[in-house]
Amino acid sequence: MLVSIIIPVHKTHSFFIACIKSALSQTHQNIEIIVACNGNLEIKECRLFLEIEDSRLIFIKTSSGRDNARNEALALAKGDWIQFLDYDDYLFPEKIELQLEALKKSPNCKLSICQWKKFFTKIEVDYNFPFNTLYDEPLVTAESLVQKMGVNGGFIATGAWLVSKEFIHGLKWIDSPNDDAVFLSEILKKSPQIVMISSVLVGYRIHGDNTSSIRTKSEFDKLLNSWTKIYHNLRVLKVFEINRYLYLTYLNLIYYSKELKGYRIGIIIFNVFYFGFKSKIGFSIFRDIKKEILR
């Protein structure tokens, strides 16, 4: 079964090499790796930098932006399953094989999500995965997953997914700092059955140049708009806990607003109260807001 690994890249860096090598080292060898060169990065420069010859590597030049790179690569992908991967992340060798094996046992499932670890330079460093409650059942519905995230918090790294290409037909990535959360909400909106893998199979690298960092007001506006999209996608699941999930999200956005000198703080506070009252949290909303402002 062919798996397409889609990697958008806009500049060369040593951890890009590590990412590509981790993809090529998959124990499931029936793969194609689509390297989507975007921005000012040309295919020739990318090839010369990597110095890796492998017939499974496919280089394409796309329009600027991580969203365009993924969308154009997805349109060309021939795989039955899609593995999205950022150019600075790392796949453990058995990642795809273990997820495919689990999916074969549950043919109605169109999505698998594994655990991941954050790391800086060395992937071997110990890491305590903080969202184990999301994985206490091997098979979950989209509704159940959203419910757990609403109760316990958490996020799901892009590289942790393995998703059916057919199932995501017609879905598009958007230009946003949290584009992965938006795309995942589009998937969950379709209410899939999900195979959860309670093993760490992906490395999520932390560094100063992460493209999801919020540095400007325009990026922050995109972030706010994306959470509106996420809410509209997930509310069709009719899960009460989505209100608490958004409540926690907007509380966290207070910090980012402070970093931009209080930009959009009014609309953020409004949404904290809106989703807080919908969650029936009560007067502890005031305490939580104060805590975030003083953080």
Q: Give 30-42 as a 3 state SS string.
A: CEEEEEEECCCCC
Q: Which amino acid is at 159?
A: G
Cβ atoms of residues 144 and 191 within 8 Å: no
pLDDT at 235: 96
- Cα–Cα distance measured from residue 46 to residue 50, given in angstroms and rounded to the nearest whole number: 6
Where exactly are the structural domains of the chain? 3-205, 239-294
Place of tokens 């402070």: 258
Determine the CATH number of domain 3-205.
3.90.550.10
Distance, in Å, from the CA atom of 66 to the CA atom of 83, rounded to the nearest integer, reads: 15
> Measured at the alpha carbon of residue 154, what is the angle toward residues 197 and 235, in degrees to the nearest 5?
100
- C-alpha 211/C-alpha 208 separation (Å) is 9
C-beta of residue 233 within 8 angstroms of C-beta of residue 186: yes
Torsion-angle region of 166 (φ positive above 0: left; ψ -120 to 50: alpha; else: beta)? alpha
**Predicted pLDDT of residue 172:** 98
CB-based contacts of 95: which residues, under 8 Å, 6+ apart?
26, 83, 114, 201, 202
* C-alpha span between 72 and 66 (Å, rounded): 10
Residue 24 is given by DSSP the state H
Provide the 3-class DSSP secondary structure of residue 128. coil
What is the dihedral angle through the alpha carbons of 183, 185, 191, 192, rounded to the nearest 10 degrees?
A: 50
**Per-residue pLDDT tens listing for the chain (295 residues):** 999 999 999 999 899 999 999 999 999 999 999 999 999 999 999 999 999 999 999 999 999 999 999 999 999 999 999 999 999 999 999 999 999 999 999 999 999 999 999 998 888 888 999 999 999 999 999 999 999 999 988 889 999 999 999 999 999 999 999 999 999 999 999 999 999 999 999 999 988 665 556 889 999 999 999 999 999 999 999 999 999 999 999 999 999 999 999 999 999 999 999 999 999 998 899 999 999 988 8
Give every CB contact of residue 235 below 8 A, 6+ residues apart in sequence.
Answer: 242
Asked whether 102 and 197 are in contact (CB, 8 A), the reply is yes
Residue from 90, 187, 202 nearest 141 by CA: 187
Q: What is d(CA 77, CA 65) in angstroms, rounded to the nearest whole number?
A: 18
Please, are residues 3 and 31 in contact by the beta-carbon 8 Å criterion?
yes
